[in-house]
Every structure is written in C-alpha cells, then in structure tokens.
C-alpha cells in the first residue's frame, strides 16, 4: 500500500492509542467516578451563597443545627463539604422549595452548532442549582458524551448501551427510571450517554416511517414523567443538531436555553436553527398547543472585540426580549477547568488568575439565579 494511504487497520490502531491517552488524562485530572470528588467550600463562599455575614454563622450553627465545617490544617479558617454547603443553602438560603403537588421542570439546552459552550453551560448550571438547594438530574443526549465525562463517568469504560436512553428509544423500557445514576456531586444525578446514542438518530425516524401512529416527539417527555416527581430540575444536554432526538428533547422541555457566542457564524447558525425548528413543529400534530415557560438566548464565549459588540447588536435586534442579557466571557479560567474535565464549580478556589475566575463565575451564578426565577414562576 502506498505510503500516503491510511488503512482501516491503522485507523483502528489510532483509535486505540487515542483512547488510551484520553483515559490517562482522565486518571490524571478528572479521576472518573467513583474517584472524582466534589470540592470543599470556604466559609466566605457559604456565607455569600446564603447572603449572610460570616460572623452570623457562628450562632446560626447551633440555632439551626447546621454543620460547623472543618478546620483547615495549619489555618484558623474552616471549610465545608459540598453536602454541608447544600445543607446551609437549604436552611438559610433564599431559594425556592418545590410546592406540594407541583412537578419538577425540564430545561433543554440546545444549539445547532458545536463549540458554543452548551455542555459546560448544562453541567455548570446543574451544579449551581444544587448549591441553590435544588435536586437536579442531567440527561446526556449527545453521543459524544461530554456531559457524562464532566459528571465523572468514562463513556467508554463505565457506560453500556443499556445505561443510556436507548432501551427507552427501543421500547424495551416504559420510562427512564432504570437509567438514573448518582454522581460524585451531591444532589446531582445523571442519565449517561455513549456512542450508542447514535443509534437513536436512526431508530426514531425508522419507527416513524414504519408506524404512522408513532409520535417520536413525545418519547422523552413520557420517559421523564415519573422522574418529575423526584427532581426539581431536569436538564437535557442535546447534540449540536436538529435530529428526531433533539426535537423530542425540545418538545419535552418546559424551557429552552440556547448558549450562543456573539460571532457572525454562530449567530447565523442560531437563526437557521430556529427557522428549521419552527418549520418542523408545524408538521407535528397538536404542536400548536405546545408552550414554553421561557425561551432564553445567552451570550457565551464573549470576547472584548468590535466584532463581538457588533454581533451582539445584531442578535439583540433579531431576538429582542429573548436575549437573556447575561454575558459569559471567553475565559482562561473556563479553558483551564475544561482542560482538567472540570467546570468552574469544581474549582471554587481559583486555579490561575483570581480575576479571570471571578469574571467567569459571576455571570454563571447569574444564569443559575435566572433559572431559579424561572422555577419560581413556573411553580406559581
């Protein structure tokens, strides 16, 4: 075979070598479940989360029977585990509690284009919502399984096809309760993904063709229904497409969240996304009765440039009130966390520039507060 040709055997070898290297990186940085551990939080973090003065915390510990934290070795400071931080947030944070008889809400994070921070937005939002006293489930609907990796599972080593949504898609399971797994992060559960999900892109349209009564857009909503009693928020992380599976995810959602960088190509892609989605919805029976609690477009990977500012003005003109207004920057802190298969919430103490960490985390927190507001509105 000529030297410039690549055989299938060579590609198999390439895939094996690349998988081995990635696994070594996971072991070094992310430590896949069950080795990946949640961070610990400083007293200042807990106080700010609950909108308290640090001095108040001393007498509130006994008054509310709250965990006192653990002294940091070689320091007078204390730190709190994730679970202890959540206990403080539930007891003293000004966060909503799901009313009796109300179901949890489903938020779908979607975009037609990859590389827009969709998965990091989903997982970071899930973590931030647990810190705001919510019980969260993330459903990974992308065959690339990046959300699964960020939640501490290796899709190659820890996820089998029967662990994903595929048994529901195949009709072998009536709902998705079978697929829920705990993660290293307290109050955050996961339905993982693997490359097996690529099969859903074929099986859903095939069933729709063979069975004219098959309502593919209702599959995920029906599968999630029993879980709405257990979880306050279910976050759907979708693939960068408008496949049958993504349409089913959007139809299952109470709210749609689109991360979109203010760059001309990303903006053009988002316009195409909404156009195709609206056309597809017109073809579905009873689609006119579908209504969302909110549809929100969030600026992500924002750069301080004239092009970015110009594109934001175009997006504001095009989308009006659907623009969220929160700007999550293109940040070295985010890239550093991502390189270690982490989110900004996995690193409450800055690794690198403290200013870069703050500039990225503050709008991420505001996005979580926006989601909390939508929960309160939806439950009311």
> pLDDT tens across 246-268, in order?
999 999 999 999 999 999 999 99
Q: What is the pLDDT of residue 32?
A: 47
258: β partners? 297
Distances (CA, A) of 202 to 105, 184, 189, 198, 239: 28, 33, 27, 7, 14
Contacts of residue 183, Cβ cutoff 8 Å, sequence gap at least 6: 33, 151, 152, 153, 189, 190
Strand partners for 257: 109, 296
Q: What is the pLDDT of residues 198-242, one digit of tens each?
A: 888 888 888 888 888 889 999 999 999 999 999 999 999 999 988
What's the whole-number mean pLDDT along residues 38-51?
Answer: 94
Query: How many CB atoms neighbour CB 196 within 10 A?
Result: 19
Give the pLDDT band (50/70/90) at residue 35.
Answer: low
Q: What is the pLDDT of residues 58-106, one digit of tens each?
A: 889 989 999 999 999 888 889 999 999 999 999 999 999 999 999 999 9
Helical ranges in 5-76 per DSSP H: 8-25, 43-49, 56-63
Q: Is the pLDDT of residue 187 over 50?
A: yes
Please tell me whether the overall predicted TM-score, pTM, comes out greater than 0.75 for this model. Answer: yes
Residue 368's pLDDT is: 98
DSSP character for 117?
S
Count of positions (residues) in the chain: 380
Q: Which residue has the higher pLDDT, 285 or 121?
A: 121
Give the whole-number percent of the chain exceeding pLDDT 70: 93
Segment 146-153 mean pLDDT: 94
- Cα 96 to Cα 231, 237, 368: the distances in Å are 13, 24, 13
3-state DSSP call for residue 279? helix
Rounded (10°) CA dihedral 125, 131, 137, 141: 20
What mean pLDDT do residues 363-379 have? 96
What whole-number distance in Å separates Cα of residue 43 and Cα of residue 365? 18
Res 3 pLDDT > 70:
no
Q: Is pLDDT at 34 greater than 60 in this prediction?
A: no
């Amino acid at each position: 075979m000529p030297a410039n040709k690549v055989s299938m055997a060579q590609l198999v070898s390439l895939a094996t070598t690349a998988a081995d290297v990635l696994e070594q990186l996971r072991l070094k940085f992310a430590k896949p479940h069950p080795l990946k551990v949640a961070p610990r939080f400083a007293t200042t973090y807990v106080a700010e989360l609950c909108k308290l003065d640090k001095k108040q915390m001393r007498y509130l510990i006994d008054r509310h029977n709250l965990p006192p934290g653990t002294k940091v070795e070689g320091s007078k400071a204390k730190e709190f585990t994730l679970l202890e931080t959540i206990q403080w947030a539930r007891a003293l944070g000004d966060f909503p509690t799901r009313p009796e008889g109300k179901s949890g809400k489903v938020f779908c994070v979607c975009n037609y284009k990859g590389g827009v921070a969709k998965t990091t937005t989903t997982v970071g939002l899930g973590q931030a919502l647990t810190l705001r006293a919510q019980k969260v489930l993330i459903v990974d609907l992308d065959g690339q399984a990046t959300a699964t990796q960020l939640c501490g599972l290796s899709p190659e080593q820890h996820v089998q096809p029967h662990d994903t949504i595929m048994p529901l898609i195949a009709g072998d399971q009536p709902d998705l309760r079978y697929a829920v797994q705990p993660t290293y992060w307290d109050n955050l559960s996961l339905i993982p993904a693997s490359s097996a999900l690529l099969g859903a892109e074929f099986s859903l349209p095939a069933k729709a063709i063979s069975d004219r009564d098959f309502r593919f857009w209702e599959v995920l909503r029906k599968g999630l229904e029993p879980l709405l009693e257990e979880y306050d928020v279910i976050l759907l992380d979708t693939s960068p497409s408008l496949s049958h599976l993504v349409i089913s995810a959007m139809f299952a959602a109470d709210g749609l969240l689109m991360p979109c960088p203010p760059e001309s190509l990303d903006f053009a892609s988002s316009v195409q996304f909404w156009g195709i989605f609206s056309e597809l919805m017109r073809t579905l029976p009873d689609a006119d009765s579908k209504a969302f609690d909110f549809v929100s477009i969030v600026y992500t990977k924002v750069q301080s440039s004239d092009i970015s500012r110009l594109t934001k003005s175009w997006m504001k003109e095009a989308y009006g009130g659907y623009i969220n207004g929160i700007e999550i920057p293109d940040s070295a802190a985010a890239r550093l966390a991502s390189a270690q298969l982490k989110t900004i919430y996995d690193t409450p103490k800055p690794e690198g520039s403290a200013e870069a960490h703050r500039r990225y985390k503050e709008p991420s927190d505001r996005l979580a507060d926006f989601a909390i507001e939508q929960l309160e509105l939806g439950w009311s």
